[in-house]
Amino acid sequence: MSSTVSPAHHKAALAVAAIVAGMVKASGIDALVRGYVDDLTRNFLDVLDGKLSMPAAVKQHHLFLNELAEQAYDLGMTDGGADPAEKDDTDEAAIADWNIGQDGQVQGLWADAKQLRADKGELSKDEFEARHSALMDRLAQWGDSLRNLYSLAKGNAQKNQMVTWHFGDTDHCDTCAKLDGQRHRLSWFLDKGYIPQENGSETLDCHGFHCQCTLTNDKGEQVMP
């Protein structure tokens, strides 16, 4: 069976990406994430239409990462009350580690986009839309990862302040349940890898997916994410 990508479907896909990335009066990290997800979405739709090759999409994605990592980290430092010009080795290592982790996933994303284009003539409308939606969700997660880097930078800038872990309105994993209500210096949480809502976390049993936990300071202000 055949399946085509209609202009209406493209328009709807872009609208969904815009909402996920926070289109309404976005500024700072919201604007950076919004622009990133928008750019990935346009490239994704161009790959499906045959307007952009997989190698070109991969190359552009690597360029996005190289440019945005520094920008997101600088924003996080600024919002955390630190001067980005005073990055130390810890900050530079955080940016490098994030880039390495992201770079390793780029090829797989665009290979799946290319495969969807190759398969779409054999898929039913429902099958195509299910795979299309799954890839759109993955694009949003790339934006979440950029926001995580911003949160890490902000946290590093504020790491000596006292903060408390709080549950969000969702089901909780054992790790988050154990951390709920604990009060430590922010550096304590960061050094142990306890970063709320960090997608792909290796220290949270929920791996950060659907996590709604937060860290707040003694004034009740949210520090992370």
- Looking at the fold, whether 152 and 169 belong to one and the same domain comes out as no
- Looking at the fold, whether 107 and 200 belong to one and the same domain comes out as no
- Looking at the fold, whether 136 and 211 belong to one and the same domain comes out as no
Range of the domain at 145: 7-156
- Looking at the fold, whether 90 and 188 belong to one and the same domain comes out as no
DSSP 38-68: HHHHHHHHHHHHTSS-HHHHHHHHHHHHHHH
- Is 1 a member of any domain? no
- Looking at the fold, whether 137 and 194 belong to one and the same domain comes out as no
DSSP 97-151: HHHHHHHHHHHHHHHHHHHHHHHGGGS-HHHHHHHHHHHHHHHHHHHHHHHHHHH
Domain termination residue (choose one: 156, 173, 194) = 156
- Looking at the fold, whether 124 and 203 belong to one and the same domain comes out as no
- Looking at the fold, whether 93 and 146 belong to one and the same domain comes out as yes
- Looking at the fold, whether 24 and 48 belong to one and the same domain comes out as yes
- Is 217 a member of any domain? yes
Full pLDDT tens readout for the chain, 225 residues: 444 455 444 544 444 444 444 433 456 999 999 999 999 999 999 999 999 999 999 999 999 999 999 999 999 999 988 889 988 888 999 999 999 999 999 999 999 999 999 999 899 999 999 999 999 999 999 999 999 999 999 988 888 788 999 988 878 898 989 999 999 988 899 889 999 988 888 889 988 888 889 999 888 989 888
- Looking at the fold, whether 77 and 124 belong to one and the same domain comes out as yes
Structural domains in the chain (count): 2
- Is 2 a member of any domain? no
Question: The whole model's pTM is what?
Answer: 0.67
- Looking at the fold, whether 150 and 164 belong to one and the same domain comes out as no
- Is 98 a member of any domain? yes
φ, ψ dihedrals at 164, nearest 5°: -125, 140
C-alpha–C-alpha distance, residues 131 and 82, integer Å:
42
Q: Which amino acid is at 144?
A: D
Cis peptide before 55 (omega within 30 of 0): no
- Looking at the fold, whether 109 and 48 belong to one and the same domain comes out as yes
Asked if residues 20 and 141 have their Cβ atoms less than 8 Å apart, the reply is no
Query: 204: buried, middle or exposed (CB in 10 Å: 19+, 13-18, 0-12)?
Result: buried
- Is 200 a member of any domain? yes
- Looking at the fold, whether 44 and 94 belong to one and the same domain comes out as yes
Domain termination residue (choose one: 105, 135, 156) = 156
Domain termination residue (choose one: 138, 156, 174) = 156
In the DSSP assignment, the letter for residue 185 is E
